[in-house]
Amino acid sequence: MKNLVHLSILIIFVFWLGGCDQKPAIEPSGKTIKVGIIAPFSGSDHSKGKEGLKGMETAMQLQPYLQNGDHIELVAENDKDDPALTVKLLKKLVKEVKVSAIITFSSTSPVLAMAKVADEYRTPILAALATHPDTTKHNGFISQLCFDDDFQGTVAALFVRDDLLIDKVAVFSNPGSVYSSHLAAQFESKFKSIGGEVTDTVSLTEETGDLSKVIKSVHDNTPELFYLPISAKDLVRVVREVRKLDWKPKMMGSDGLISTMLAQHNNEIDLVDGMLATDFFAHGMPLTPFGKRARGKYLEKYTSTRTLYAALGIEGYAILLNAMNRCSDPADRECINKQIRSTTNFTGMIGNITIGPNGKAQRPLTINSIQGGRSKFIFKVY
């Protein structure tokens, strides 16, 4: 009998301890707050939109309600990465759907188009992938979830020079892409400023004529590394020509390149084995507790490869909710925008994210490489 009493006390104590850790359940208020998503869901960049949305839906499962019980409804629009269409959809989401905030997975050009009219619509826009530094310039409503290209280009140049100890590089860029040309210019400028030599600057477009001739000419100047802030499709073109010469210079790409290669050019992944790239995440990196929970939830629903777009979707949703929760009226656009821009040390998937009043994010950048058909973490840069 005495033992039974002791056992009962122990069980009650254990349950009481367990209960201490549980947060009270949120009671739904019945009110819905709409969040818009503008992203390419078709075309060559469709994976950005589709994977980003998967990430947001995953985060939504973790946090379906705001702390006041309001429910979040996602309204997704396909801009096909076309700047004109992006602006139209922004207008639609703000004026007709009346969203309180927007997350975009579009690339730099469409987001720069939005930047011109963002202040007019006075709706907070969180750009998940647009790394161009001008994204946040000249407007008070677009904030970046990602690091910007000034940081990315500088880090890439310093890494090549100081970590890889390489002093001769060739830089490739696509003049048709604001993102590509800006990043290439940033890299080139920084690399030269620290005593590096840029042997060739190659402009690469669909119309670039005899690429093999171009690569041959680059080969003659003996660069040790190619800096390639270009699309996955262009990368494959370049690498094919390089391999024809039985030449294996080091290569370094920029954010999203490894993800796109893995998602859309997996059959040619061996071509780029050993390639380095700056990025947001890497396979096998230590995750934060939030990252582990989100990853677990994602894997419950999706069996496909986990991409950086999905991870950014998870982080974007969580930051947005965090900002809304800090507003007395979570649907208040002005307040949400202010709170997004005062996000401090928010725990993301792999580390802390801070978004300053200028809309720029401070977050760790990773340097990864493709090894054996997988992305491998090399360094983290704060």
Partner 1 sequence: MTEYVTSALFVHTEDTTHLIKPLQNNSLGTQITSVAFDTLTQAPQEHLEGVAHVVVAGPLDVIKEILRLAMKHQFSIGIIPTKKQKHLIKFYDLPKNPSAAVELALRQDGQTMDLILCNGKIMLFKAAIGRIPFLDTPAKASWIQILLNSLRKFVSFRLYTFKFGTAGKQEIDTAASGCMILQHFRGSFASRLISHDHSLTDGMASLVISAPISIIAYVKLLRQALRSSTRFKKLPSSIGYIKSPQIDIEPETRLEVFIDDQHATHTPLHCEAIAKAVHVNVGKNLRVESSSAKASKEKIDIKNLPREKELFKAKKQRRIPFFSYASDERFHDLFPALREDARLNNIYLVLMVLSTMLATVGLYLSSASVIIGAMLLAPLMAPIVSLSMGILRGNIELFKDSIGKIVLGILIALLSSALITLLFPHKPITDEMLARLNPTLLDLAVAIISGIAAAYSKSFKEIIQSLAGVAIAVALVPPLAVAGIGIGRWDFQFFYQAFLLFSTNLVGIIISATFTFRVLGYSAAVRSRRSLAVVFIFLVLISIPLYLTYSRIVEDRVFEKSWQQERFLVNEKYLIIVKASIIWRGDKRIILMDILAREPLTREDLTAFKRKIQANFSKKLIIRLNTFHIP
Q: Which two tokens stand for residue 272?
A: 């780029």
195: exposed, middle or buried (C-beta count within 10 Å: 0-12, 13-18, 19+)?
exposed
Nearer to partner 1, 193 or 266 (CB): 193
Q: Kindly indicate which of the ranges 120-128, 152-160, 213-221, 250-258 contains the residues binding partner 1, using the contact rule CB under 8 A.
A: 152-160
H-type helices in the chain, by residue range?
A: 2-20, 46-62, 83-91, 108-121, 149-158, 178-193, 211-220, 232-244, 257-264, 289-301, 308-325, 333-340
Is there a contact between 241 and 212 (Cβ–Cβ < 8 Å)?
A: yes
- CB of residue 365 to partner 1, shortest distance in Å: 8
Does 377 engage in binding with partner 1 (CB under 8 A)? Answer: yes
For the chain, report the end-to-end CA distance as a whole number of angstroms: 61
Name 307's Cβ contacts closer than 8 Å, sequence gap at least 6. Answer: 47, 51, 259, 262, 263
Is there a contact between 326 and 339 (Cβ–Cβ < 8 Å)?
A: yes
Vertex 210: Cα angle to 209 and 214 (nearest 5): 110
- List binders of partner 1 among 36-95 (CB under 8 A): none
Does 155 engage in binding with partner 1 (CB under 8 A)? Answer: yes
Query: Residue count at the site for partner 1 (CB under 8 A)?
Result: 22
Residue of the chain from 205, 345, 358, 371 that contacts partner 1 (CB under 8 A): 345
The CA distance from 239 to 271, in Å, is 7
Does 286 engage in binding with partner 1 (CB under 8 A)? Answer: yes
Q: Kindly indicate which of the ranges 38-46, 96-104, 156-164, 198-206 contains the residues binding partner 1, using the contact rule CB under 8 A.
A: 156-164
Does 352 engage in binding with partner 1 (CB under 8 A)? Answer: yes
Q: Kindly indicate which of the ranges 98-106, 133-141, 158-166, 267-275 contains the residues binding partner 1, using the contact rule CB under 8 A.
A: 158-166
The CA distance from 44 to 298, in Å, is 24
Does 342 engage in binding with partner 1 (CB under 8 A)? Answer: no
- CB of residue 192 to partner 1, shortest distance in Å: 14
The CA distance from 247 to 77, in Å, is 44
Nearer to partner 1, 241 or 279 (CB): 279
- List binders of partner 1 among 190-209 (CB under 8 A): 194
- CB of residue 149 to partner 1, shortest distance in Å: 13
Nearer to partner 1, 293 or 380 (CB): 380
Nearer to partner 1, 44 or 322 (CB): 322
Residue of the chain from 62, 211, 236, 381 that contacts partner 1 (CB under 8 A): 381
Does 302 engage in binding with partner 1 (CB under 8 A)? Answer: no
The CA distance from 341 to 321, in Å, is 13
Does 140 engage in binding with partner 1 (CB under 8 A)? Answer: no
249: exposed, middle or buried (C-beta count within 10 Å: 0-12, 13-18, 19+)?
middle
Does 379 engage in binding with partner 1 (CB under 8 A)? Answer: yes
Q: Which two tokens stand for residue 15?
A: 């349950």
Does 354 engage in binding with partner 1 (CB under 8 A)? Answer: yes
Residue of the chain from 73, 119, 120, 162 that contacts partner 1 (CB under 8 A): 162
Is there a contact between 142 and 125 (Cβ–Cβ < 8 Å)?
A: yes
Does 154 engage in binding with partner 1 (CB under 8 A)? Answer: yes
- List binders of partner 1 among 355-374 (CB under 8 A): 362, 364, 367
Residue of the chain from 55, 196, 351, 359 that contacts partner 1 (CB under 8 A): 351
Rounded to a whole number of angstroms, the CA Rg of the chain reads 23
User: Which residues contact partner 1 (rule: CB under 8 A)?
Assistant: 151, 154-155, 158-159, 162-163, 194, 286, 345, 351-352, 354, 362, 364, 367, 377-382
